[in-house]
């Protein structure tokens, strides 16, 4: 007879591979291995099992069926409550996510053309959308900041041409900074561009131009006529030399403040180094412009009549400030006590404020991590996931698309147990959200309602509410996806 154990042993002996280490020949390392006698299904079916006294042996094909099976399933994925195949594009370290996403979108079009009819491939989550929204916000804020600085310049300098000359520093300094960003491959992002302070950038130019205007006005008043080109050039040169050194060191001191940031390493360095470099480039550009372009433009554009006097806004400010200054000089002790009290109060208030590594960025979407019982299998976890997604689609029109990853994928770039799923909720624009108390519901409140609804209607799971990039960032930083992680150690 032929038992099942005997059958398994014969098949194993004929399909066994063995390693023999390696040898080095001519500086090259060669792997030594012994391969099995078979390498396809037909050869496996032809394995002789037993002669049984006959000339022809009993073959495996006579007692068994051999097929190619599938590997054990360790994960699943869903899209809008239905199982789907989900793939992720893994970007190389140091690459630009926006450019990579654009290239992937183009390749997806090519792949779609080669797929069988009825098979559709489409993007579910594109990080470049968030990047584009963030860059648009930064551009809007920079534009508004530049316009505000220009308005203040025109209001306080009292000379339209002088204010125009100073205002030119803003776009030219930005051009200088962006040239450096391209040269040294510094990406434009929320941190690098959002840290630019136009008030600091124009500081040196304001000092230079204001001093030139003052000297030109005084010289015209002394001569009782407009200055000739030669006289104007000499006065501009004299004025520029007068403030060049203090202005240079003033801007240099501000720039040096950012130097220690360049020593940061790890994630902190990756986040804050671009910010420091861009600010230093912008300040360096403004300094070069202040000592070169500003005097030249003043000598050309300030040829008319110049009156060195305060405008109405500066006059009003002085009227309000003068009595306060006199009071402070008269009651110095009282002022010092008040300032010390305010300083102490600020220390007390700051000690009670919360702190975090970086401000939380509103990504515009949700990422829910659904955690079931640790003993839950893939099939039960998948069923709970489908129920949860159906409830979200039914009760929350704010959700445009929902998809999830459960367990570990075939390529285990992000391994999880089968009882855990990452659920991504892509949201519609805020003008399509529901109202609460007469106002559009906040994102935090919406996430809270979603979480409570799922806990009530699909028991047996806990829910962590976060955001796609935030969840990944937390995992990279601390190995967990929540903002607060508690690790317990002790005897088992």
Residue 50: pLDDT over 80: no
> pTM, whole model, 2 decimals?
0.71
Q: β-pairing, 439-440 with 435-436?
A: antiparallel
Confidence of residue 202 (pLDDT cuts 50, 70, 90): very high
Q: How confident is the model at residue 27 (pLDDT cuts 50, 70, 90)?
A: confident
| Residues in contact with 344: Cβ distance below 8 Å, sequence separation at least 6, in sequence order | none
Determine contact, residues 29/52, Cβ cutoff 8 Å: no
State the average pLDDT over residues 418-447. Answer: 92
Say which residues have a Cβ less than 8 Å from residue 289's Cβ, sequence separation at least 6.
168, 169, 172, 173, 176, 205
Distance between CA atoms of residues 334 and 328, nearest Å: 8
Q: What is the DSSP letter of 37?
A: S
Tokens of 424: 């991504």
Please state which CATH class domain 365-478 belongs to.
alpha beta
The whole-chain average pLDDT of the chain stands at: 87
Rounded Cα gap, residues 398 and 401, in angstroms: 9
What's 432's DSSP letter?
A: G
Domain-wise residue ranges, the chain: 4-63, 87-123, 129-345, 365-478
From CA 178, how far away is CA 48, in angstroms rounded? Answer: 74
- Residue identified by tokens 């955001």 is 467
- To the nearest 10 degrees (0 to 180), the angle between helices 468-478 and 127-157 is 100
Instruction: Give 188's DSSP letter.
Output: P
> 219-238 pLDDT, tens per residue?
888 888 888 888 999 999 99
pLDDT at 333: 94
On whether the CB atoms of residues 372 and 420 are closer than 8 A, the answer is yes
> What's the whole-number mean pLDDT along residues 413-435?
90
Hey, what are 463's tokens?
Answer: 């829910």
Residues 290 and 299: their CA atoms lie apart, in Å, by 13
Q: How far apart are CA 342 and CA 436, in angstroms?
A: 39
CA distance 142 to 193: 8
Of the candidate ranges 41-45, 254-258, 426-430, the one whose mean pLDDT is the lowest:
41-45
- 88-147 residue pLDDT tens: 888 887 788 888 988 999 999 999 999 998 888 989 988 888 888 888 888 888 889 889
Let me know the angle formed at the C-alpha of 87 by 412 and 109, rounded to the nearest 5 degrees.
Answer: 150
Extended strands (E) in 160-288: none
SS3 state of residue 365: strand
Q: What is the CA radius of gyration of the chain?
A: 36
How far apart (Å, rounded) are the C-alpha atoms in residues 274 and 261?
10
Name residues whose C-beta falls within 8 Å of residue 309's C-beta, 6 or more positions apart in sequence: 158, 217
Residue 52 pLDDT > 60: no
Q: How many residues does the chain have?
A: 492
pLDDT at position 77 = 92
Please state, as a whole number, how many other Cβ atoms lie within 10 Å of the Cβ of residue 34.
Answer: 9
Q: Which residue, 402, 369, 357, is CA-closest to 482? A: 369
* Residue pLDDT, tens place only, 265-308: 877 888 889 999 999 999 999 999 999 999 999 999 888 777 66
Say yes or no to pLDDT of 346 above 90: yes
Pick the CATH number of 129-345 from 3.90.180.10, 3.30.300.130, 1.20.1640.10, 1.10.357.10: 1.20.1640.10
Distance CA 295, CA 449 (A): 62
Supply angle C-alpha 358, 363, 365, rounded to 5.
Answer: 140
- pLDDT, tens digit, for every residue of 355-402? 776 677 888 899 999 999 888 889 999 999 999 999 999 999 999 999
* Percent of the chain scoring above 90 in pLDDT: 43
pLDDT digits (tens, 9 = 90+) for 398-410: 999 999 999 888 7
């Amino acid at each position: 007879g032929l038992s099942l154990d005997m059958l398994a042993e014969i098949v194993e002996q004929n399909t066994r591979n063995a390693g023999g280490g390696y040898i080095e020949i001519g500086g090259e390392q060669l792997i030594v291995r012994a391969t099995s006698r078979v390498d396809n299904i037909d050869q496996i079916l032809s394995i002789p099992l037993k002669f049984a006294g006959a000339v022809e042996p009993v073959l495996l094909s006579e007692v068994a069926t051999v097929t190619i099976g599938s590997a054990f399933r360790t994960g699943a994925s869903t899209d809008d409550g239905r199982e789907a195949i989900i793939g992720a594009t893994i970007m190389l370290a140091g690459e630009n996510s926006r450019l990579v996403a654009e290239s992937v979108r183009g390749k997806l079009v090519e792949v779609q053309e080669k797929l069988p009819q009825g098979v559709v491939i489409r993007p579910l989550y594109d990080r470049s959308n968030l990047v584009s929204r963030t860059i648009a916000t930064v551009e809007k804020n920079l534009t508004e900041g530049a316009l505000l600085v220009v308005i203040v310049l025109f209001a306080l300098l009292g000379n339209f041409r002088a204010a125009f000359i100073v205002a030119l520093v803003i776009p030219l300094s930005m051009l200088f900074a962006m040239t450096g960003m391209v040269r040294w491959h510094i990406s434009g992002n929320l941190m690098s561009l959002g840290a630019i302070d136009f008030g600091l950038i124009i500081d040196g130019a304001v000092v230079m131009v204001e001093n030139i205007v003052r000297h030109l006005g005084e010289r015209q008043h002394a001569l009782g006529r407009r200055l000739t080109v030669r006289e104007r050039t000499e006065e501009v040169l004299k004025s520029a030399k007068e403030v060049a050194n203090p202005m240079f060191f003033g801007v240099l001191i501000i720039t040096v403040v950012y130097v220690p940031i360049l020593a940061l390493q790890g994630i902190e360095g990756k986040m804050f180094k671009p910010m420091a470099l861009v600010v230093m480039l912008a300040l360096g550009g403004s300094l070069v412009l202040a000592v070169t372009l500003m005097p030249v433009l003043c000598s050309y554009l300030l040829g008319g009549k110049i009156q060195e006097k305060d405008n109405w806004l500066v006059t009003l400010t002085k009227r309000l400030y003068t009595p306060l200054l006199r009071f402070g000089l008269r009651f110095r002790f009282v002022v010092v006590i008040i300032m010390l009290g305010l300083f102490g109060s600020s220390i007390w208030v700051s000690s009670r404020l919360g702190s975090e590594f970086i401000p939380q960025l509103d990504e515009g979407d949700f990422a829910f991590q659904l955690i079931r019982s640790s003993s839950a299998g893939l099939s039960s976890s998948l069923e709970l996931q489908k129920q949860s997604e159906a409830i979200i689609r039914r009760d929350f029109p704010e959700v445009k698309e929902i998809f999830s990853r459960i367990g570990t994928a075939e390529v285990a770039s992000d391994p999880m147990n089968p009882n855990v799923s990452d659920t991504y909720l892509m949201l519609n624009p805020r003008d399509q959200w529901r109202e609460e108390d007469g106002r559009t519901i906040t994102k935090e409140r919406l996430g809270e309602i979603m979480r409570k609804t799922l806990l009530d209607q699909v028991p047996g799971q806990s829910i962590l509410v976060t955001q796609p990039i935030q969840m990944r960032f937390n995992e990279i930083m601390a190995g967990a996806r929540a903002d607060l992680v508690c690790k317990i150690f002790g005897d088992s």
